[in-house]
Amino acid sequence: MTNRSEAGWNFDNSYAWLPKTFYSSLNPTPVSKPKLIIFNEKLAESLGLNGRNLQSEEGTEIFAGNRLPDGAVPLAQAYAGHQFGHFAMLGDGRAILLGEQITPDGKRVDIQLKGSGRTPYSRGGDGRAALGPMLREYIISESMQALGIPTTRSLAVVTTGEDIIRETLLPGAVLTRTASSHLRVATFQYAANWGTDEDVRTLADYTINRHYPDIEENENRYLSLLEEVIKRQASLIAKWQLVGFIHGVMNTDNMAISGETIDYGPCAFMDTYDPATVFSSIDRQGRYAYGNQPYIGGWNLARFAETLLPLLHEDEKKAIGIAEDALAGYNEQFQSYWLAGMRAKLGLLNEEKEDETLIADLFKMMHAYQADYTNTFRALTFEDYEDTALFGSKEFTQWHEQWQARRGKQEKSNELSHQVMQSSNPAVIPRNHRVEEALKAAVEEGDFSVMEKLLQVLAKPFAHTPDQEEYCELPEPSKTPYRTFCGT
Ligand code: AMP
Ligand code: MG
């Protein structure tokens, strides 16, 4: 009996057919005492995997990297990119791609182990990951999925039975991550810097075939590729902004060509609205602050465009002109996705000239009165205003009148407007204090029930049911700001 027939593995390994420079073949490093901590049954089902079969000793061995599923061709991917603006050779230093699962509906999904041991790209690192950060990635990526934001997903977390050394000893873990691919801006940068123009072309053709088959016949398909990636990033980052998500480390290795959110390290959701919000302990300049994310998206896309120059036109000057024209569209696209999302958040179903001012005025007040981002929109949705500085202010009363007058200008019913608001304004986001509480119980006490309950609530962010109420509450005021750390 094979894994394939029992567990549902159905691998193809197209990435392994790329030139050898793009990866290193190797197996995950086995661990001593793997234990399955959490398994995503719904995701498994959508991948065509047999959840019952995989929640077994055999499945645990697979998710730990001790045993290979049938058809896997394990490899670490090479990439090189800008970290905080500085270029470096990177690559999967603690991850192994097992292969691409072909799902029952014909999708191709990467199955990757994260924390699976050293690789040729590990540099000084141990190739391992700690339980806390892997559970954190699980919680936040699954919450993003429920919020309707493109993202990599989390299939399973196992503990390894081995401690890893960070500032203290921490329990080691392996996360099984799925993604529509792990192609990154940094994969292209690697090809452009260490490969030939032919390597870049091969990678671009592979990417088009895998993610953008509709543009294959276009006159300048490489320009189309650039335009498509710009469009998806503009849409993705607009979605982040609309829910107050801060990625925290938007290096070019953490920007996926597919337009999925990838690499959940020091990310976190903003409570109090402030464009300058930064959680990551290493982001001292605020490069990746909430309000800077759209700009950094454009910066990363410019790095992507540079790698495509030889493919865009044989005359370099002309190629630069083509790339610049495409990049010029990014800001406008971001703005239009964002504005459409903001209109929905305010229940505005048509477009009026005054909308941008109305929105800007709201943000000005939210900033001045230190309003909670998520709860402000929730209060507007239900017209249920707590006694906060914002809602008690004269400015808000005036703004509210303008908003109601504006809503009155649309032909569609108030009920529809309210429905759109409900499905655009989540009640529950993974608030930092809730995530920390769940991780603390899991890591320090081996109690996973807090996390499981949190995951259940996060799976229905737009339900607005009374049982979710406690998850909407704000943290106790704290003297020290919330800080996040890279998951290394
Ligand atoms: P990240 O911050 O997770 O995006 O990782 C940035 C780079 O550091 C990637 O090349 C990772 O593979 C590598 N890296 C992170 N943690 C480790 C580790 N513990 N061992 C080896 N490489 C690592
Ligand atoms: Mg990364």
pLDDT, average across residues 313-322: 98
pLDDT, average across residues 206-210: 98
Whether 447 has a binding-site annotation, put simply, is: no
Residue 427 covered by a domain? no
User: Ligand 1 pocket: which of 90, 177, 488 to mutate (most atoms <8 Å of CB)?
Assistant: 488
Residue 240 covered by a domain? yes
Q: Which amino acid is at 416?
A: L
What residue's CA is closest to ligand 1, atom 22?
93
pLDDT, average across residues 12-19: 98
Residue 61 covered by a domain? yes
Same domain for 133 and 265, yes or no, is no
Confidence (pLDDT) at 141: 98
Computed from CA positions of residues 473, 476, 481, 482, in that sequence, does the dihedral angle turn out positive or negative?
Answer: negative
Same domain for 91 and 16, yes or no, is yes
- Both tokens assigned to 63: 């998710």
Whether 254 has a binding-site annotation, put simply, is: yes
Same domain for 24 and 65, yes or no, is yes
Q: Each residue of 471-488: pLDDT tens digit? A: 999 998 886 788 988 765
Q: Are 246 and 432 in contact (CB under 8 A)?
A: no
- Residue 12 beta carbon below 6 angstroms from any ligand 1 atom: no
Whether 210 has a binding-site annotation, put simply, is: no
Q: Which ligand ends up closest to the CA of 79?
A: 1
Q: Each residue of 429-465: pLDDT tens digit? A: 999 999 999 999 999 999 999 999 999 999 999 999 9
- Residue 122 beta carbon below 6 angstroms from any ligand 1 atom: yes
Q: Which ligand ends up closest to the CA of 80?
A: 1
- Residue 488 beta carbon below 6 angstroms from any ligand 1 atom: yes
Confidence (pLDDT) at 478: 80
pLDDT at 4 over 80: no
Same domain for 227 and 242, yes or no, is yes
Residue 40 covered by a domain? yes
Partners of 83 in beta bridges: 86
Exposure on the CB side of residue 4, measured as CA atoms within 13 A: 9
Instruction: Give dist(CA 193, CA 188) in Å, integer.
Output: 8
Residue 468 covered by a domain? no
What is the C-alpha radius of gyration for the chain, rounded to an integer number of angstroms?
23
How many Å lie between the centroid of ligand 1 and the Cα of residue 95? 8
Same domain for 167 and 242, yes or no, is no
163 backbone dihedrals φ, ψ, rounded to 5°: -80, 150
β 108-114/169-179 pair status = antiparallel
Whether 184 has a binding-site annotation, put simply, is: yes
- Residue 271 beta carbon below 6 angstroms from any ligand 1 atom: no
Same domain for 142 and 47, yes or no, is yes
Computed from CA positions of residues 366, 368, 372, 376, in that sequence, does the dihedral angle turn out positive or negative?
Answer: negative
Reported pTM? 0.97
- Residue 127 beta carbon below 6 angstroms from any ligand 1 atom: yes
Same domain for 137 and 201, yes or no, is no
Confidence (pLDDT) at 1: 38
Provide the annotated active-site residues.
Answer: 253
Q: Are 393 and 341 in contact (CB under 8 A)?
A: no
Same domain for 167 and 206, yes or no, is no
Whether 431 has a binding-site annotation, put simply, is: no
What residue's CA is closest to ligand 1, atom 15?
488
How many Å lie between the centroid of ligand 2 and the Cα of residue 366? 33
Q: Give the residue from 408, 403, 356 showing the smallest Cα distance to 377.
A: 403
Is residue 383 packed enough to be buried (19+ CB in 10 Å), middle (13-18) or exposed (0-12)?
Answer: exposed
Instruction: Give dist(CA 290, CA 279) in Å, integer.
Output: 9
Domain tally, the chain: 2
- Residue 248 beta carbon below 6 angstroms from any ligand 1 atom: no
- Which pLDDT band, with edges at 50, 70 and 90, does 5 fall under? low
Instruction: Give dist(CA 451, CA 453) in Å, integer.
Output: 5
Q: How many C-beta atoms lie closer than 10 Å to residue 313's C-beta?
A: 17
Confidence (pLDDT) at 2: 41
How many Å lie between the centroid of ligand 1 and the Cα of residue 488? 6
pLDDT, average across residues 285-304: 97
Q: Among the three residues 295, 324, 339, which one is the final residue of a domain in this structure? A: 339
How many Å lie between the centroid of ligand 2 and the Cα of residue 488? 10
- Closest atom of ligand 1 to CA, residue 95: 12
Q: Among the three residues 310, 339, 368, which one is the final residue of a domain in this structure? A: 339
pLDDT at 137 over 50: yes
- Listed in sequence order, the residues at least 6 apart from 230 whose beta carbon sits closer than 8 Å to its beta carbon are 301, 326, 327, 329, 330, 333
Partners of 113 in beta bridges: 96, 176
Instruction: Give dist(CA 234, CA 344) in Å, integer.
Output: 17
Same domain for 201 and 56, yes or no, is no
Q: Give the residue from 433, 434, 290, 435 showing the smallest Cα distance to 373.
A: 290
With tokens 């106790």, the residue in question is 476
Q: Which ligand ends up closest to the CA of 94?
A: 1
Kindly report the average pLDDT of the chain as a whole number.
96
Same domain for 134 and 239, yes or no, is no
Residue 315 covered by a domain? yes
3-state secondary structure the chain: CCHHHHHCCCEECHHHHCCHHHEEECCCCCCCCCEEEEECHHHHHHCCCCHHHHCCHHHHHHHHCCCCCCCCCCEEECCEEEECCEEEECCCCCEEEEEEEECCCCCEEEEEEECCCCCCCCCCCCCCEEHHHHHHHHHHHHHHHHCCCCECEEEEEEEEEEEEECCCEEEEEEEEEEECCCCEHHHHHHHHHHCCHHHHHHHHHHHHHHHCHHHCCCCCHHHHHHHHHHHHHHHHHHHHHHHCEECCCCCHHHEECCCCECCCCCCEECCECCCCCCCECCCCCCCCCHHHHHHHHHHHHHHHHHHHHHHHCCCHHHHHHHHHHHHHHHHHHHHHHHHHHHHHHCCCCCCCCCHHHHHHHHHHHHHHCCCEHHHHHHHHHHCCCCCCCCCCCHHHHHHHHHHHHHHHCCCCCHHHHHHHHHHHCCCCCCCHHHHHHHHHHHHHHCCCHHHHHHHHHHCCCCCCCHHHHHHHCCCCCCCCCCCECCCC
Q: Are 65 and 59 in contact (CB under 8 A)?
A: no
Computed from CA positions of residues 233, 239, 242, 245, in that sequence, does the dihedral angle turn out positive or negative?
Answer: negative
Confidence (pLDDT) at 480: 78
How many Å lie between the centroid of ligand 2 and the Cα of residue 123? 14
Q: Which domain holds residue 13?
A: 5-179
Residue 409 covered by a domain? no
Confidence (pLDDT) at 3: 44
Q: Among the three residues 339, 368, 396, which one is the final residue of a domain in this structure? A: 339
Partners of 89 in beta bridges: 80
pLDDT, average across residues 286-311: 98
Same domain for 115 and 196, yes or no, is no
Q: Which ligand ends up closest to the CA of 129?
A: 1
β 95-102/80-83 pair status = unpaired
- Both tokens assigned to 291: 């309000």
- Residue 259 beta carbon below 6 angstroms from any ligand 1 atom: no
Residue 272 covered by a domain? yes
Is residue 480 packed enough to be buried (19+ CB in 10 Å), middle (13-18) or exposed (0-12)?
Answer: exposed
In 34-45, which positions are buried (b, 16+ CB within 10 angstroms) versus exposed (e)?
bebbbbbeebbe
- Which pLDDT band, with edges at 50, 70 and 90, does 419 fall under? very high
Same domain for 23 and 161, yes or no, is yes
How many Å lie between the centroid of ligand 2 and the Cα of residue 253? 5
- Residue 29 beta carbon below 6 angstroms from any ligand 1 atom: no
